[in-house]
Structure 1
């Protein structure tokens, strides 16, 4: 059971030696960038929250899928067992899986150690996800180890999802329970973090490399724990030794994820943490960040839909770092707080049209078939003064109300939590944006009703702003339920 939520201590930026005007310039630059859609932001300095905000329809309380930022939590779980003396970094991975150990005959596969999967230095040149999960979906570790690395373990870096999955599987075997349960008792509750949910494969085994859902606040608290070298309110959570190893370079990443010193993907990799041009970080696809800046005693936690992840970091270095150089004014503090308090994502960019009573009646109860195989079918109904959209897929249903031309309408009533904006662009065309609030993703939906109302069957076209990585069925874009 999670502990009651207690907010982190807060302070005005100027009282913590920070120029709020610089933070505001960062936020405005993010909002103005065509590829950046922020959902939640928290900036901590000297252990206090100096800036926080959520762009409606996203909220403080909502868990959101953080993709590979999950790896930072897997690292914390591994650190607990390392501190307990249970996890030997120099023990061969295959020794943890005696049920198929005899099948693993290649010397390089047998030479992969725990420290190699922890640091993505297994000797493979590429991500082994498709091979590992394709070879044995029921036991991806076996599929991973059956494919020998091209180089000696420890010699090269490759961003490799099965490496983290294998580390997580080892931790769960040693702990005798799921990662979420281990983390809840020994990390999340002690630091006051909120609920964390994790996708599994197979059932009972948390993915480790991705698939966890959490609030921005939980991301920020983990960053602060790492900044404090594993200590929280006078209590030792992780050893200083583990935090030092996890957040310092264990393997070079030069030439892998960038072409020069200005790339934040060429600064080295620790134990499930990236080194950066400034400090270190965990991050996840489409714009999930936990950036820790020890030299400034600061943490930046950000969730969003941001394809250009290096671009976001560039803006952070341009605006946020200088802001830590000098205290601003109380007036700048107030401007920043007001901006974040009123933050709203732009609604669907459509020019709405007024429907006649006859056209509204024709839309009421209309059904739509997917324009492509495997897509979503749809239905539109009049509900009071508003409307309701229902998308039906192989995975289930997504139900959502909407008010044409009136911004975002949030719905939690059927399937995933969503917010909808948009409206009728003509008597026969409806365009909507559906934001899936437990994920970074937004779906563009266009419904075309035939001018001839004889059969009342139209066509629905859907397009993702960013493609979900754990399956693109809209009905499945929600946190796992216990």
Structure 2
């Protein structure tokens, strides 16, 4: 098997913003807006005329790290369908049930029977609620069968509903047709030509890539994908993706709102797993601010990763950049002071570890103690804390006998590999710090540098016990803090 990391990947060309018709001061204003609005970006890359004119990572995020894309994954899944259609492996008019005779109900209703691949792509399946939650409950892990058994209440193609289960079905159809996973199918056709190395994609219990979520790649990888669409499928002189597909996927296929310019960017219509935007733009996006924004009129691409609930505000900040794009190919006059200020801003982007009180007298009292925790959803059975001069080590024992160690810097980030979420997946890359908020309250900040999540653990100590409260920066729906009590293990 070919080593996918053996071929060196050329970077996208870099240059000053003015060389591509953008003032450095406009990008500085964007970064200031992001900071003042506390929009919690993790990375930002701006391309114009195929050149990276600005890029930055909020430390400890960094360029080489992959970042979980959530629903931005959907745009890659749709691209795979476009490639498969170009190879005549399938047609957008093919009926969904035709691929899965064994999972299809004995008497499929007329709406299910009418549903085709195009309906899956445009989020027009006829369902009235997202199917994904019910699919994931299927006891034997057969998500395809679960999807096909759910009621289809509207005529396919007549009604928009954002439906992650529909994107999973695209992945399942592709695997059924090709005998390859979505990830393997895309390697020679998309990822390798674009220089996207070792992408990671989650899969369902039956080994089908999840399609609608679960892809992790770098910020520059997102930018390359956007540039491919901006160039109408052309890459390094080769037509990777049919130009007709790019036009179709990026254009309005189904209405999802009133379409008025001032009604926000989730009501401008939907293509094939791409959202239409105001100002004639389009985008792929994922929960908590993962963006690939394509700007055809400006010949520009914006790639962003984040950990925010304010996705519309992030887009609003990007739209404020639009007047700065010079509509000619001419270079702008260099402004050395503005360029220096922008370079300094980009160099010093950071998420600063909280520092309230560096030390507490409680450190000596709890140092090395093990605390037995009450039964909890985090599945932590006990924890022990040991303090050093510049770091703390928290040892976590789970309810199945497993043991993990979390390293935290004293007012600084320290690196660990710990699995925070229950389940069998590999450990997460975490940067952690600690501070004392009061004499008896220890605050741990756990930043998952390949995901949007930051967990805050506040531990209040008393003579023989502790109270631990965990909260997160973002989450699906209302996120109530989790409180757990524990006592010193005799």
Larger deviation, residues 423-432 vs 339-348: 423-432
Q: 1:148, CA displacement in angstroms?
A: 2.9
Q: Is the 8 A contact 1:109 1:147 kept in 2?
A: no
Report Cα offsets for 1:357-396 as digits up to 9, x if no partner.
xx43323213345577213453211346421123455696
> CA, structure 1 residues 353+329, in 2 after alignment: closer, same or farther (shift >3 Å)?
closer
What does residue 359 of structure 2 align with? 354
Partner Cα distance (1:245, 1:346) in 2: 43
2:466 is the alignment partner of 1:466: no
Partner Cα distance (2:431, 2:36) in 1: 22
> CA, structure 1 residues 173+264, in 2 after alignment: closer, same or farther (shift >3 Å)?
same
> CA, structure 1 residues 390+244, in 2 after alignment: closer, same or farther (shift >3 Å)?
farther
Q: Is the 8 A contact 1:108 1:148 kept in 2?
A: no
What does residue 480 of structure 1 align with? none
Q: Is the 8 A contact 2:103 2:148 kept in 1?
A: no
What does residue 423 of structure 2 align with? none
Larger deviation, residues 387-396 vs 69-78: 387-396
Within 5 Å, give how 1:33-182 maps onto structure 2: 33-34=37-38, 36-135=39-138, 138-182=141-185
Q: Is the 8 A contact 2:141 2:206 kept in 1?
A: no
Report Cα offsets for 1:63-85 as digits up to 9, x if no partner.
11110000011011111101101
What does residue 263 of structure 1 align with? 264
Within 5 Å, give how 1:128-277 maps onto structure 2: 128-135=131-138, 138-254=141-257, 261-277=262-278
Partner Cα distance (1:378, 1:40) in 2: 34
Report Cα offsets for 1:249-301 as digits up to 9, x if no partner.
1111115xx98743111111111111111311000000100000010000000
TM-score (norm 1): 0.89
Q: 1:61, CA displacement in angstroms?
A: 0.8
Within 5 Å, give how 1:289-304 maps onto structure 2: 289-304=291-306
Q: 1:4, CA displacement in angstroms?
A: 2.5
What does residue 407 of structure 2 align with? 401
What does residue 452 of structure 2 align with? 440
What does residue 479 of structure 1 align with? none
| Secondary structure class of the residue paired with 1:226 | helix
Report Cα offsets for 1:421-475 as digits up to 9, x if no partner.
231234432112110111100001111222x2xx5x5332211111269x99x9x
| Secondary structure class of the residue paired with 1:296 | coil
Structure 2's unaligned 5+ residue stretches are: 420-426, 483-490
Partner Cα distance (2:403, 2:87) in 1: 45
What does residue 411 of structure 1 align with? 416
Q: 1:198, CA displacement in angstroms?
A: 0.9
- Aligned partner of 1:8 among 5, 9, 12: 12
Partner Cα distance (2:137, 2:10) in 1: 43
What does residue 477 of structure 1 align with? none
Partner Cα distance (2:449, 2:274) in 1: 26
Q: Is the 8 A contact 1:103 1:146 kept in 2?
A: no
Q: 1:9, CA displacement in angstroms?
A: 0.7
2:426 is the alignment partner of 1:422: no
> CA, structure 1 residues 30+370, in 2 after alignment: closer, same or farther (shift >3 Å)?
farther
Partner Cα distance (1:74, 1:187) in 2: 11
C-alpha RMSD over aligned residues = 2.5
**Paired residues, what number?**
461
Q: Is the 8 A contact 1:68 1:209 kept in 2?
A: yes
Partner Cα distance (2:370, 2:303) in 1: 42
Larger deviation, residues 309-318 vs 112-121: 309-318
| Secondary structure class of the residue paired with 2:137 | helix
Q: 1:126, CA displacement in angstroms?
A: 2.5
> CA, structure 1 residues 461+392, in 2 after alignment: closer, same or farther (shift >3 Å)?
farther
What does residue 33 of structure 2 align with? 29
